[in-house]
């Protein structure tokens, strides 16, 4: 067996096994995830020297499926597996009291397998397939509590948003395959300079959907209706990360115009989502908005032409954000909710979770020596170095500032207040999960140097003092503001708007959803017309037939009239006969009377008329034949 399959197959098999066996979900899936982790680490060690492992599988004609493990893909695969493993460990505790565990674990495992396939995909078709499959898995997981209407809605919305944006990926791939002639990603990247701006923008669209960039950010906040481990996995290593991963991998293809667009989308998002996060009244939703904001930072880095910086931030963020979510899930169990007013002071009661949360929060804000400091530093340095720095740097700094602010606000809200809480089952598992990820979140920054050498990607001069200073100042200022100033004062009159998610004129629902439904209803009405028209044709035929019948009846009445006239004539003639008219006429009269009588009793006068018609027709026939004969000479 080819080693490339190692990260994918174990979770896939585990998922199927759970679906079939319907029990032992946690153990099987954990085993699968662990094996996947081991497999990806094995791969990573195999490819550090730049040697790629490749596997071809039968796919579409002339477009085989391809798995490639290069340094970057193997690294991403390891990151995905790490996060997934710890999230699953945590889930054992978190899901203790839930029903439908088999479904949960199977889907999580499938999710992991699909994400591994996406990361390791070496051709566009497989990438697209995996891309869509993680959409399905997130749909099923967000909708895990499908009886709750808000979960059902959130799941539908998440899938619909991402899927609609995925059309960009479809078309981009068609353009790439069309221009390069093969579906192999590596080849596309090599000859990539021929790819058009259109393809780049379409890739961006797809990434915007998955990574919840403005204006497609709304689904991500609603997706919090799912179980918390799902959120953790979704935000850090799978669904949302896929968008950034796509752009990082396809960065060599992007034209300057496309890069600028990527940077701007990222910049707007990091600010807008940061503001939304700041105004949130729910911890998990705040984290979701923060995710969008952080991915905005990554897009800034890609847009600046330094995908390496984006990758570093992606890795750091994966560890940080999963830690944050797992801790939030712990609080959620303790207080039966995630609203900030429910969670007041929960940090005092759940110190281990809070410590992890705080560590990760500081890391995200960019406080040295935690991982976020290094990655954010790289992003700001990238923004400084690239084209459009004048745009990108302010956005990046504003994003950093906002990060500090909302994280500090969250810490304050979680810490202040009474520490009373109830007992939580499965705390051990959850604690293990949280700290398993909190530690990498703290120390990952130390590995960045070796990673850069391993990946051999151009990285900006991270040592740039300007970047460090700017980043630190922004982060510290943010933290201070968030801790000290109440959010209403901070945002001023914009606060209610930010609370509602910065919706512009009703948001996408009003801009896309309602018009689409209106068109649909219009089509439906049109359907009725179509149906009526088709029936109308049938009715028309019947009407014509009835008309013909009426004509026959009229003729019939007319003929009856002729019969009566005969009778009248007969009577008149009989009167004449009585006055002594000769016998010949008498005979004639008798005949006519008989005929008339027949017409009355048997109603057979018709025959005169029909004969007449036939006679006329004979004459007509003669004329026509004469005419057509003369025409032909």
Partner 1 sequence: MLPLVSLTLFLPLVGAVLILCLPKPTARTVHGIAITSAALTLVGALAMWLQGVSSEGFSQVEELEWMPAIGAAYRVGVDGISLPLVLLSAVLFLVSLIYASSLRDRPRAYVALILLLETAAIGTFTALDGILFYVFFEVSLVSMYFMIAGWGHEERQRAALMFFIYTLLGSLPLLLAILGLYLGSPDPTFDMRAWIANPPLEGAAAMWALIAMLITFAVKIPAIPLHTWLPAAHVQAPTVGSVILAGIMLKFGTYGLVRFALQMTPDAFREAGIVVLFFGVVSAIYGAFAALAQTDLKRLVAYTSVNHMGYVIVGVAAAALTLDPAVRATALDGAVLQMFSHGLVTGALFFLVGMIQERARTREMGEFGGLLKTVPLLGWFFVLAAFASLGLPGLAHFPAEFQIFLATLGTTPIAVIVILGIAIIAGTFLKALRETFMGEPRDRWSEMPDLSPREILAVAPLLVLTVATGVAPSWVLDVIHRTTSALVL
Partner 2 sequence: MGRDLALLAPEIAVLLTAVGALIAEMLRRPRISLVVAVIGLVVATGMTLRLVGTDTTIFGGSFRIDTLSIWAKLILLPATVLSMLLARADVRGSAREGTVYSLLIFSTLGALVLAGAGDTMFLVLGTLLTGLATFALVAYPDTDPATEAAMKFFVFASVTTAIMIFGLSYWFGASGSTLIADLPGMDTMPLAVILGFVAVVVGLGYKASLVPFHFWAPDAYEGAPLSIAAYLSVVPKIGALFALTQVVRYLPPETGWTAVMAGLAVLSMTYGYLAALVQDNVIRLLAYSSIAQSGYFLLGILAVGSSELALPSIILFAAAYAAMNLGAFAIAATTGRTLNDFDGLGRTRPMLGIAMVIFLLSLVGIPPLAGFVGKFMLFAAAIDVQFTWLAVVAIINSVLSLAVYLRIIVPMYRSGESASVATDPWHGVVVITAFAATLIIGLAAQFFLV
Residues that bind partner 1 (CB under 8 A): 58-62, 125, 128-133, 136, 143, 146-147, 149, 151-153, 155-156, 159-160, 163-164, 167, 170-171, 173-175, 177-178, 516-517, 519-524, 526-527, 530-531, 533-535, 538
Task: Give the CA count within 13 Å in the CB-facing half-sphere of 82.
Answer: 24
Options 112-120, 270-278, 584-592, 614-622: segment touching partner 2 (CB under 8 A): 614-622
Closer residue to partner 2, CB minimum distance, 174 or 622: 622
Please report whether residue 553 would count as binding partner 2 according to CB under 8 A: no
**Least CB distance to partner 1 at residue 209 (A):** 10
Phi and psi, residue 63, nearest 5°: -135, 75
Q: Residue length, the chain?
A: 633
Closer residue to partner 2, CB minimum distance, 473 or 620: 620
What's the angle, vertex CA 226, arms to CA 223 and CA 230, rounded to 5? 95
- The tokens 């520490």 sit on which residue? 419
Please report whether residue 516 would count as binding partner 2 according to CB under 8 A: no
Residue 152, contacted partner among partner 1, partner 2, none, CB below 5-8 A by kind: partner 1
**Least CB distance to partner 2 at residue 559 (A):** 11
**Exposed, middle or buried by CB within 10 Å (0-12, 13-18, 19+), for 582?**
exposed
What is the bridge-based pairing of β-strands 63-69 and 53-60?
antiparallel
Please report whether residue 631 would count as binding partner 2 according to CB under 8 A: yes
Site for partner 2 in 571-600 (CB under 8 A): 598
Closer residue to partner 1, CB minimum distance, 530 or 627: 530
**Exposed, middle or buried by CB within 10 Å (0-12, 13-18, 19+), for 434?**
buried
CA 113 to chain centre: 19
**Least CB distance to partner 1 at residue 321 (A):** 27
Q: From CA 183, how far away is CA 65, in angstroms rounded?
A: 9
**Least CB distance to partner 1 at residue 541 (A):** 10
Closer residue to partner 2, CB minimum distance, 463 or 537: 537
DSSP state at residue 100: -
Residue 604, contacted partner among partner 1, partner 2, none, CB below 5-8 A by kind: partner 2
CA 339 to chain centre: 27
DSSP state at residue 511: I
| CB distance 433 to 89 below 8 Å | yes
The helix (H) or strand (E) run that includes residue 320 is: helix 307-335
**Least CB distance to partner 2 at residue 584 (A):** 23
**Least CB distance to partner 1 at residue 150 (A):** 10
| CB distance 342 to 413 below 8 Å | no
Task: Give the CA count within 13 Å in the CB-facing half-sphere of 22.
Answer: 2
Please report whether residue 628 would count as binding partner 2 according to CB under 8 A: yes
Please report whether residue 558 would count as binding partner 2 according to CB under 8 A: no
Please report whether residue 617 would count as binding partner 2 according to CB under 8 A: yes
Q: Interface with partner 2 by CB under 8 A: which residues?
A: 538, 541-542, 544-546, 548-549, 552, 598, 602, 604, 606-607, 610-611, 613-615, 617-618, 621-622, 624-633
């Amino acid at each position: 067996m080819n080693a490339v399959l190692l990260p994918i197959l174990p979770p896939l098999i585990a998922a199927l096994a759970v679906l079939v066996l319907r029990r032992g979900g946690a153990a099987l899936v954990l085993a699968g995830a662990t094996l996947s982790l081991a497999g990806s680490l094995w791969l990573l060690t195999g490819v550090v020297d730049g040697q790629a492992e490749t596997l071809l599988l039968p796919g579409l004609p002339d477009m085989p499926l391809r798995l490639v493990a290069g340094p970057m893909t193997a690294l991403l695969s390891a990151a995905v597996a790490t996060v997934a493993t710890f999230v699953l460990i945590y889930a054992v505790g978190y899901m203790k009291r839930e029903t439908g565990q088999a479904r949960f674990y199977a889907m999580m495992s499938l999710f992991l397998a699909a994400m591994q396939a996406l990361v390791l995909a070496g051709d566009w078709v497989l990438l697209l397939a995996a891309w869509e499959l993680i959409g399905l898995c997130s749909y099923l997981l967000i909708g895990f509590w499908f009886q709750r209407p808000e979960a059902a809605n959130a799941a539908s919305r998440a899938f619909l948003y991402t899927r609609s944006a995925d059309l960009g990926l479809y078309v981009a791939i068609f353009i790439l395959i069309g221009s390069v002639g093969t579906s192999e990603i590596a080849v596309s990247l090599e000859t990539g300079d021929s790819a058009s701006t259109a393809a780049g923008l379409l890739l961006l669209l797809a990434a915007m959907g998955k990574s919840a960039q403005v204006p497609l950010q709304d689904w991500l906040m609603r997706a919090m209706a799912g179980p918390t481990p799902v959120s953790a996995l979704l935000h850090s290593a799978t669904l949302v990360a896929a968008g950034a991963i796509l752009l990082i991998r396809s960065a060599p293809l992007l034209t300057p115009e496309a890069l600028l667009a990527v940077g701007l989308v990222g910049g707007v998002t990091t600010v807008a989502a940061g503001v939304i996060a700041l105004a949130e009244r729910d911890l998990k939703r705040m984290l979701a908005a923060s995710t969008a904001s952080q991915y905005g930072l990554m897009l800034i880095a890609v847009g600046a032409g330094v995908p390496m910086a984006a990758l570093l931030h992606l890795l750091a963020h994966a560890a940080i954000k999963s830690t944050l979510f797992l801790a939030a899930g712990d609080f959620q169990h303790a207080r039966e909710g995630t609203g900030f007013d429910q969670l007041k002071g929960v940090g005092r009661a759940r110190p281990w979770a809070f410590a992890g949360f705080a560590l990760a929060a500081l890391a995200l804000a960019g406080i040295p020596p935690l991982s976020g400091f290094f990655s954010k530093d790289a992003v700001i340095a990238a923004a400084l170095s690239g084209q459009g720095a004048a745009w990108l740097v302010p956005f990046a700094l504003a994003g950093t500032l906002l990060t500090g602010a909302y994280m500090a606000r969250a810490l304050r809200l979680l810490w202040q207040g009474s520490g009373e809480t109830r007992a939580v089952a499965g705390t051990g598992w959850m604690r293990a999960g949280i700290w398993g990820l909190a530690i990498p979140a703290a120390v990952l920054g130390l590995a960045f140097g070796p990673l850069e050498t391993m990946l051999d990607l151009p990285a900006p001069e991270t040592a740039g003092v300007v970047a460090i200073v700017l980043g630190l100042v922004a982060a510290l200022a943010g933290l201070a503001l968030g801790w000290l100033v109440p959010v209403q004062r901070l945002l001023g009159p914009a606060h209610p708007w930010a609370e509602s998610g910065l919706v512009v004129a009703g948001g996408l629902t009003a801009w896309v959803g309602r018009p689409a439904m209106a068109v649909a209803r219009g089509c439906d009405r049109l359907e009725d017309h179509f149906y009526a028209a088709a029936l109308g044709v049938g009715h028309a035929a019947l009407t014509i037939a009835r008309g013909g019948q009426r004509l026959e009846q009229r003729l019939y009445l007319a003929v009856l009239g002729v019969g009566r006239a005969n009778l009248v004539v007969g009577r008149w003639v009989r009167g004449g006969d009585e006055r002594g008219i000769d016998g010949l006429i008498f005979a004639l009269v008798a005949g006519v009377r008989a005929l008339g009588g027949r017409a009355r009793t048997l109603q057979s006068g018709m025959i005169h008329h029909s004969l007449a018609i036939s006679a006329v027709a004979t004459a007509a026939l003669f004329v026509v034949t004469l005419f057509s004969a003369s025409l032909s000479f």
